[in-house]
A and B are shown apart, each in its own frame.
Chain A
Amino acid sequence: MTRITVTVDGVEYSDDIEPRTLLVYYLRQNLGKTGTVVGCDTSNCGACTVHLDGRSVKSCNVLAVQADGHEVTTIEGLAADGQLHPMQQAFHESHALQCGYCTPGMIMQACDLLKDNPDPSEQEIREGLEGNLCRCTGYHNIVRAVQHAAAAMRQGTEAPADSAVPAAGPGAPEPATAGVGAAGPEMPPGEGAPVSAGSTGEGVTA
C-alpha cells in the first residue's frame, strides 16, 4: 500500500492504495467519481480523459501514484458555481451527445484542445479529438459543439442558445443559478480552456 495525496475537483484526498491502481479506478472506486468512465483496456477510447494539472490525460493510462501531489479535474469538477462550463453548454446546445458515455472524456479533451488553440479549424478539432471515440454521434455535432464553445470562450459569451431547457437542472451539482442565455463566463481571449485554480479546483473562473 502506498499513501497518496491528490486534489480532485478542488478537494484534497489522502488514501492508501495498491501501487498498481490506475488513476481511473482510484477516481471511480475510491472517490466515487463515477463521472469518469472506462471504455477500453488499450488506451484507445479516451472515455476516461481527465485533466492532470490542467492538461488532459487518459486516466486509464496513469497510475494513481503518479497523481500524488497533483491536481486532477474530472467532468464533475468542470462546472463552477452551478454554472456549466461553456464546453458542457455547447455539447448540450449542439446535441453533441446521445448515449453520453464518451461525453465526459470528449468534453475534457475538447477543453484541452482549446487551451492550445483557442480558434481551431474544423480539421484541427477533428485531429485534436482523434484519441476519443464516440459510437453514437458520428462526430458531426461534437465538432459543431467545439466550434461553438471556442467562439463563446473567445468572445466571453455563451454558445448560441435556442432552448428553454435550464442549463442547470435538478441534477446539477449546485443549486441552479444560471439558465440558458445567462451570460457565460468572462474569459480573456487566449485563456481558453480551464486552468488550474488552486483549491477551488480547475474550473472556469467567472
Chain B
Amino acid sequence: MTVTENQAPAQPEVGRARRRKEDQRLITGRTRWTDNLQVPGMLHLAMVRSPFAHARITAIDVEAARKARNVVAVITGQDVKDEQGSLPNAWPITPEQVTPAHPPVAVDEVHFAGEIVAVVVARSAAEARDAAELVDVDYEELPAVLDLKEAAQDTVLAHPDLGTNKSALWVFDSKEAGTGGDVEDAIRQARDGGVLIEREFRQQRLIPAFMEPRSVLVDPTGEQITMWTATQIPHILRFLLAAVLGVPESKVRVIAPDVGGGFGGKLQTTPEEFIAMVLARRLGKPIKYTETRSESLLSAHHGRDQWQKLTLAATKDGTVTGFKVELLANLGAYVALVGGGVPVLGAFMFNAIYKFPAYHFACQTVLTNTTWTDAYRGAGRPEATFGIERMMDELAAELDMDPLEVREKNWIKHEEFPFTTVAGMEYDSGNYEAATARAKELFDYDALRREQAERRERQDPVQLGIGVSTFTEMCGLAPSRVLGSLDYGAGGWEHASVRMLPTGKVEVVTGTSPHGQGHETAWSQIVADRLGVPFEDVEVLHGDTAISHKGLDTYGSRSLVVGGEAVVRAADKVIEKAKPVAAHLLEASVDDLEFSAGRFGVKGTDKGLTIQEIALASFAAHNLPDGIEPGLDSDATFDPVNFSFPHGTHLCAMEVDTETGETRMRTYVCVDDVGVIVNPLIVEGQVHGGLVQGIAQALWEGATYDDQGTLVTGSFVDYTLPTAADTISFVTENTTSPATTNSLGTKGVGEAGTIASTPCVVNAIVDALRPLGIHDVEMPCTPERVWRAIQNASAGSVDETQRDTAPHFDPDQPNQDTPDPEGGAR
C-alpha cells in the first residue's frame, strides 16, 4: 500500500505495543473454558486407568459400578472395540515404521500406567468418579520396559506382538544428500591431529503442564455433532475424528473455546476426545469429561526424552569439520500424532548457525511402557540446540578458547545470507554478530568474565559460570512440499478470510487457533494497517470449524509467519476487489486510484472514498460495475516456500555453591532476532514464558518413573513447575533482520526462549565447575546432581585450607542481580 506525502498516516499498528484485546474477558473471569460450559442433560465421564505399566486385562467386573447411583453406563474396551478406532499417527517417519494400534480404551492389554481400561458415564462428575472406584479389573502383569537404552536392546518388549521396540530409524547424511561431505572422513582427520569431542547427553522427559487441564464436551443432539475441547488443533481434530471414526466430516463441528495454554501438549488427538465422541453418539446425550491434574500429568503426552550421542570434529584452531548425531528417542507406549516426527525436526537444527562441512544424523525411535511422548514447546529443536550448544562449549573448553569466539569462528557471517546449510535448509536472513554484540553489552560480558577469574583465583566456594547459547530455530511450519517429502500426513499452509461488513467493521477469520498467544490483537494490528481501518474495528474469529472452516491450527511458531501472511493476502485481495468499485463510483479509471490509509483517492484530486464506504456500497449493490459481484470479502490460503529462521544470543550467569551444589541465577540476557515485530509486548511475553520453560528443564523439571513404571512425578507436588519465587527478571531485546519469505518480514517467536535457554543455563553451570574437571551435569541440574558431580570430579574439589571468606547464599537476599543497561527491556 502506498503512503502519500500529503496524507500523514496514523501511527502504524505493526510495531506498536498494543495492550491485548483478549485481556478484558480473562481479567474479569468472563471466560469460556471448555469445563465452564454446560449443556442440558449433559452426562459426565470418569476414566478407570491402569495402575500397571504393562499387563494383560483378564477380566473387568463393572456390575457394582453399573448399579451405583446415577450411573448411566460403564464401558470397557471390549464394548467399543469395533467403533472406537485407533488413535492416529500423522507422521510415519519411515515407510517401515512399526506403529502399534492405539485403541482409546485398551481392549486386552495395557502398555503404560494411566492407560484407560474402562469408562463410567454418570449424571455428575462426582458420581462418575465414585463409581469408577467400583470397577474391578483383573490384570496379569507383564514385564515392562521403561528404560530407553534397555528398550533399544529388545530384551523386554513393550508390545510383545510387534517383536521389537524399535519403531523407526531415520537417517540424514550430508554426503548422501549432496549437501556436504562425509562425516566419517572428518572424524578420522580429527582423530589424527585435530580435535574430536565425544559426548553423550540426556534430554530428560518433561511434561507440558499447561495450566488448564484438558476438557472435552460433545453434544450430539443437533444436525452436527459439536465437540468443544481444550485443544490447539480444532481443524486437525475434526478431520481425524471423521477419518478414524467414519463420521462424515460435514457432520462434525469442533470448537476450541478459550484454551488455557498448550505448549504442544494440546497438539494431540486424545483418547478422551475419541471416547467422548463415541459415547455421545452411542448414548445420544451430551457428554463431558474434564481431567484432573493428576490424570493430565499421567496420561497427556510428555515431551523430550532422548539420549544424544554426539561427535564433533574440528581442527586445532577451532574450525568445525563435522558433526555426527546419534539419537535414541523415547516414543512412550504409542506413536503419538506427531510422534517420531518430533526428534526428526531436530535433524535440520543440530548444525545450527555453524558452517559444518559434513553432517550425519540418525534417530532411532523406541517404544517403551511409559506415557506417550509428542510435541512440547520447541519439539525437536530444543533437543538439537541443546546438543550443539553444549558441544560448542565443550569444543571451546577443549581448546581453551572463549565460547563466543569459537562460535563466531564457525557461524554464518551476516553477509553470507542466504545460506544453504549442511542439513539442506536455506537460511534467508540473520545477523549473529549484531545480536551477540548487543547481548554482550547488555550482559557486561567482560566484567563477568573478570569476576569469574577472580573467584577462581581465590577459590571462592561460590563459583560463577557464564552460559552461552547462540541458537537458531526453524519456524513457520511448514512448506507443504517439504512436509510431503518427509511423509507427513498433511500440508503446512494456512487460511484466512477478511470480511468487510456493511457498517465498516471488519471480521478476520483465521485458521490458526490461539491459546494465549494474542492473535486477536496482533491480527487486528496487521489488518488495521493493511486496510487503514481502526484497530478497534477489527474482530478476529477463530477456533470454531463452523466459522473458520479451513485451517491447520497453532504450533511450531507458525501462526504469525504462515497464518499472518494469509491474513495479509486476504486483506490485499479485499483492496483489489474494492478498487474497480471505487473507480466506478468515483468515475475514475482504476489506474488513477491510489489506496492509502484506508481511502481510495483519485490522483491529483481530493476525490476519494474510504474502504468502509465502498464496503457499504458493495453490500447495497445498487451501483456496481457490470460483472462485479456484491461484497468485498476475500479469502487467502498461504503455503510458505520456506521456513523462517529466528536466532538469538542468550547469556546467563549462574552462581554455583561448590559445597552444597546449590545454584542461583544472577543474570539472564537475551537478544533475539525474530524478524519484524508486530507487537513488542507480545513478543517480550513469549520470550519470558519460553525462557522459564527452558530454564525449568535445565534446573527443575523431569518426569520420572519408579521401577514398576509408576509415574513418580504424578502431581504438582512432585512435578516441580517453577514459581515466581524461583525465577528472576530478564533482560530481553531484539535485533531485526526481516525474513524474506513473507510480506511482513516476521519469523516467529513462540518457542525461541525455550529452545535457547536450556543449554545456556547448563553451559553456565558447567562453566562454573570446569576447574573441577567437570564437563557435564545431567538435567535437571538439581543441587543434589551438582553436588554429586562435584564429589565425583576426579580433579578434586576446592582446597579447604585456602578458602576465602566469600559469603554463601543468603536465603533472604533477592534471588537476582540484574543489570540495568540502557534500553534493556525489563
Chain A residues near B (Cβ < 8 Å): 18, 28, 33-42, 44-45, 47, 74-76, 78-79, 84, 88, 91-93, 95, 97-104, 107, 121-123, 125-127, 129-144, 162-165, 168-173, 180
Chain B residues near A (Cβ < 8 Å): 17-31, 33, 35-36, 126, 209-213, 258-261, 263, 292-294, 515-518, 535-536, 681-682, 684-686, 688-693, 715-717, 721-725, 727, 729-730, 753, 814-816, 826
Is the beta-carbon distance between B211 and A134 smaller than 8 angstroms?
yes
Is the beta-carbon distance between A42 and B24 smaller than 8 angstroms?
no
Is the beta-carbon distance between A136 and B211 smaller than 8 angstroms?
yes
CB distance from B701 to the nearest CB of A (A): 11
Is the beta-carbon distance between B211 and A135 smaller than 8 angstroms?
yes
Q: Complex formed: what's the CA distance from A47 to B213 in Å?
A: 11
Given A35-B28, A74-B29, A141-B688: A40 and B19 within 8 A (CB)?
no
Q: Complex formed: what's the CA distance from A189 to B293 in Å?
A: 40
Is the beta-carbon distance between B26 and A125 smaller than 8 angstroms?
no
Is the beta-carbon distance between B23 and A91 smaller than 8 angstroms?
yes
The number of inter-chain residue pairs (CB within 8 angstroms) is: 209
Is the beta-carbon distance between A121 and B814 smaller than 8 angstroms?
yes
5 residue pairs from A and B, CB less than 8 Å apart: A38-B35, A39-B293, A47-B211, A162-B17, A180-B19
**Contacts of A127 on B, CB cut-off 8 Å?**
724-725
Is the beta-carbon distance between B724 and A41 smaller than 8 angstroms?
no
Is the beta-carbon distance between A122 and B692 smaller than 8 angstroms?
no
Which of A132, A162, A180 is packed against the most chain B CB atoms within 10 Å? A162
Q: Complex formed: what's the CA distance from A84 to B23 in Å?
A: 12
Is the beta-carbon distance between A165 and B725 smaller than 8 angstroms?
no
The contact of A95 among B211, B293, B681, B723, by CB within 8 Å, is B681
Is the beta-carbon distance between A103 and B27 smaller than 8 angstroms?
yes
Is the beta-carbon distance between A75 and B213 smaller than 8 angstroms?
no
Closest to B294 in A: A41
Is the beta-carbon distance between A139 and B727 smaller than 8 angstroms?
yes
**Contacts of B213 on A, CB cut-off 8 Å?**
38-39
**Contacts of A79 on B, CB cut-off 8 Å?**
28
Is the beta-carbon distance between A92 and B28 smaller than 8 angstroms?
no
Interface of B: prevailing SS: loop
Q: Complex formed: what's the CA distance from A122 to B722 in Å?
A: 16
Given A44-B716, A164-B536, A173-B30: A130 and B723 within 8 A (CB)?
yes
CB distance from B291 to the nearest CB of A (A): 10
The contact of A104 among B29, B292, B691, by CB within 8 Å, is B29
**Contacts of B259 on A, CB cut-off 8 Å?**
99
The contact of B26 among A44, A84, A103, by CB within 8 Å, is A103
Is the beta-carbon distance between A171 and B28 smaller than 8 angstroms?
yes
Given A136-B211, A143-B724: A40 and B29 within 8 A (CB)?
no
Q: Complex formed: what's the CA distance from A163 to B753 in Å?
A: 26
Q: Complex formed: what's the CA distance from A141 to B721 in Å?
A: 18
Is the beta-carbon distance between B27 and A100 smaller than 8 angstroms?
yes
CB distance from B378 to the nearest CB of A (A): 14
The contact of A172 among B28, B686, B691, by CB within 8 Å, is B28
Is the beta-carbon distance between B724 and A101 smaller than 8 angstroms?
no
Given A99-B212, A101-B211, A123-B815: A138 and B29 within 8 A (CB)?
no
**Contacts of B724 on A, CB cut-off 8 Å?**
125-127, 129-130, 132, 134, 139, 142-143
Given A40-B293, A41-B294, A100-B516: A138 and B730 within 8 A (CB)?
yes
CB distance from B130 to the nearest CB of A (A): 10
Closest to A74 in B: B29
CB distance from B124 to the nearest CB of A (A): 9
The contact of A84 among B27, B209, B210, by CB within 8 Å, is B27
Which of B28, B36, B518, B690 is packed against the most chain A CB atoms within 10 Å? B28
Is the beta-carbon distance between A165 and B21 smaller than 8 angstroms?
yes
**Contacts of A107 on B, CB cut-off 8 Å?**
27
**Contacts of A138 on B, CB cut-off 8 Å?**
688-693, 727, 730, 753
CB distance from A156 to the nearest CB of B (A): 21
Q: Complex formed: what's the CA distance from A44 to B211 in Å?
A: 11
Q: Complex formed: what's the CA distance from A41 to B293 in Å?
A: 6
**Contacts of A123 on B, CB cut-off 8 Å?**
725, 814-815
Smallest CB-CB A-B distances: 4 pairs: A35-B29, A100-B26, A99-B516, A101-B260
**Contacts of B515 on A, CB cut-off 8 Å?**
99
**Contacts of B715 on A, CB cut-off 8 Å?**
40-42, 44
**Contacts of B212 on A, CB cut-off 8 Å?**
37, 39, 99, 101
Is the beta-carbon distance between A92 and B19 smaller than 8 angstroms?
yes
Q: Complex formed: what's the CA distance from A121 to B517 in Å?
A: 29
Is the beta-carbon distance between A95 and B692 smaller than 8 angstroms?
no
CB distance from B18 to the nearest CB of A (A): 7
CB distance from A55 to the nearest CB of B (A): 19
**Contacts of B816 on A, CB cut-off 8 Å?**
122
Which of B22, B293, B715 is packed against the most chain A CB atoms within 10 Å? B293
Is the beta-carbon distance between B27 and A98 smaller than 8 angstroms?
no
Q: Complex formed: what's the CA distance from A199 to B29 in Å?
A: 21
**Contacts of A173 on B, CB cut-off 8 Å?**
28, 30
Closest to A163 in B: B19
The contact of B685 among A141, A143, A180, by CB within 8 Å, is A141
The contact of A92 among B27, B31, B688, B725, by CB within 8 Å, is B27
CB distance from B418 to the nearest CB of A (A): 33
Q: Complex formed: what's the CA distance from A39 to B210 in Å?
A: 9
**Contacts of A40 on B, CB cut-off 8 Å?**
293, 715-716
Which of A126, A137, A143, A163 is packed against the most chain B CB atoms within 10 Å? A126
Which of A75, A134, A138, A164 is packed against the most chain B CB atoms within 10 Å? A138
